[in-house]
A and B are shown apart, each in its own frame.
Chain A
Amino acid sequence: MKLEIKDLKKKYGKKLVLDGISFSADEGTCVGILGGNGCGKSTLLSILAGIVRADSGSFEVTGGEKSCIGYVPQGTPLFEELSAKDNLKLWYDSQSLKKELESGVLKLLGVNEFLTVPVRKMSGGMKKRLSIGCAVSGSPKILLMDEPTAALDIACKENIYEYIENFKKNGGLILLATHDVHEIELCDKRYVIKDGKLTEWQYDGDLRKLAQWIK
């Protein structure tokens, strides 16, 4: 399975956010999308998730379908008044929910620990884990993650890193929009968006070079 993106362009008003983005990624890899705030990382992921329409260009999933894409947005897209279980029920049928909680991805994310807690009473980490749990319903082969560990404590971050490693090992493809050093290290390929253009960046352990480049 391969994700191929060809010449994607997107304008918001007069601002050209994405200017001919093209790249490809193979299964079993994690691709990092880096860049300054407001550079277009989330827009790129939104287009791939089918939420926003690109002005021109296209993307294809060879050896798979576009419906096999899962998306974890920046925030926590959950019903605050409902419990974790009620939120999960929207995406999983009762049989697969039981299975995932016993031995699947929901167990790996530790969702069992707060299944009956209303979302409004959850910590940021719990919400993020639940969001990922909801996003991966239907076993997507491609996962788009928008700053998944932003503002989380170390324990929660470790939990999510472990999940990412696992997803990769099982042949999944992850596109990760991030600012986090550890997440950058998890990636096999890294791209930087600046002024709407995408450039591949070779990471050598020195983040200061990236900071200077982004500036």
Chain B
Amino acid sequence: MRYLKYFSVQLKRTLRLAVGVFPTAMLLFACLGAAAWFLLNQGPLAERQQKYQIGVVGKIDDTYLGFGIYAIQTLDVSRFMVDFIPMTEEEARQAFRNDKIAAYIKVPEDFLDSLIYGRNDVPISYVASEGQKGIGGYLMEELAVVVSKLVTSAQGSIYSFQDVIRDYGDASQLGEWTDEINLQLIENVLARTKLAELTELGLSKGLLMRQYYFCAVVLLYCFLFGISSASFFLKRNEDLGKWMKMRGIGAAAQVLCEYGVYLFMMMACVFLPLIGVGIATKSFAFLKTKVYMDEILKALVPILIMISAMHFMIYETVRNPVANLLLQFLGVIGMGYVSGYIYPASFFPKGIAFVGSVLPTGVALEGFSGAMLDERSGMAFGLGCLYVTAFLVLAVLMRKRMIERDNG
């Protein structure tokens, strides 16, 4: 009865505080939501919708080179991703410096002759910034190997064909037939996409990019909610804890009652805006997931139990407001980064990715993304339970310490 009374008083107190907490939380939700929208629709992740601009430096008026660029620009599938822009070397350098082109290809004057006569001793150069040396650089190297193999094989076939005609056929039509075999080879190259099919399994663990970042942004909001709800914790009265202890409500009972009320407030502040978004977007249709809104919300319940316990523990441990808020902000951003909230964790080395996956942020992401794919993770659930227990035990110990602190 006594505990119930304390719980109800805490609930009443929380409802009074909610007037301040709710708008702050909604502001945070709106900011993160807007950031996610820009990220997915306008930002770097939407770059796939843009074309790479590549400069081509060389004798463009050369028939073969001009025809090659024309063919790629009009017939090849790469025309959807790359724009080749003919320019002089000076113009290319200038455009490269001004970030107008991603890279440029320098075709030396003797390149085509060297190619036609099978010498292959004049290489084309690909000029890119250091930043392109990552995956782009590797792809370019691979591409160069593939192209050179294609070219030398084509050359081999043409020369063999020419030898055969000279020895056994009519050499007067050699030029015409060579052109024909050339066209046939070009046609085969342009039709290369029929040879392989690319299936995108998703950004991470089979999640589509929008699903992945939806999970990350919702969880980031949940973790940062601890800052929005600062008034719930910082306005607490230390003497009250001592007094409650005297009246038979010990540290554990105090923490559990207050934690229960905080969890209730957090659930309200997380579920209400999510339900709003869910209704506005026809049960999160934009996520293209088969999971319904109620299942997404249900999946968040154990995660919120863990996150709220973490907030409780932090506020019990660090009572200085500035230090506390700084710790929360930097801690959440740091842990979120390592756990893949900003870049997918698969981008990190194995060791870091593992640490990120066992941190509370990683456990939350694993649990929530699993729910999105309708695959529950027992490991994440177990780790989450461990975290909840550890956070609450620590919070009780800190409260006990505060109650028994010497006042002189």
Contact = CB atoms under 8 A, between A and B. Distances in A.
Interface of A: 12, 17, 37-43, 46, 49-53, 71, 73-82, 86, 89-91, 134-135
A82 B13 CA distance: 6
B246 A75 contact: no
B35 interface: no
A76 B244 CA distance: 12
Contacts of B51: none
Interface in B248-295: none
Nearest to B19: A81
B242 A79 contact: no
B406 A17 contact: yes
B408 A41 contact: yes
A46 B16 contact: no
Given A51-B246, A73-B239, A82-B16, 18 more contacts: A17-B406, A37-B408, A40-B408, A42-B407, A46-B404, A51-B404, A52-B403, A73-B242, A73-B243, A73-B407, A74-B239, A74-B407, A76-B239, A77-B239, A78-B240, A82-B9, A82-B13, A86-B12
Contacts of B12: 82, 86
Contacts of B9: 79, 82, 86, 89-90
A139 B123 CA distance: 99
Interface in B368-408: 403-404, 406-408
Contact of A81 (B235, B243, B247, B404): B235
Contacts of A74: 239, 407
B238 interface: yes
B245 A50 contact: yes
A81 to B, nearest CB: 4
A164 B344 CA distance: 67
B5 interface: yes
A153 B403 CA distance: 29
Q: Give the 3 A-B CB pairs with smallest separation, nearest first.
A: A75-B239, A77-B239, A38-B408
Nearest to B14: A81
B236 to A, nearest CB: 9
B239 A81 contact: no
B111 interface: no
Q: Which of B16, B238, B408 has the most CB of A within 10 A?
A: B408
B173 interface: no
Contacts of A78: 237, 240
A71 B17 CA distance: 28
A89 B2 CA distance: 11
A41 B407 CA distance: 9
B6 interface: yes
A41 B408 CA distance: 6
A215 B244 CA distance: 35
Contacts of B13: 79, 81-82
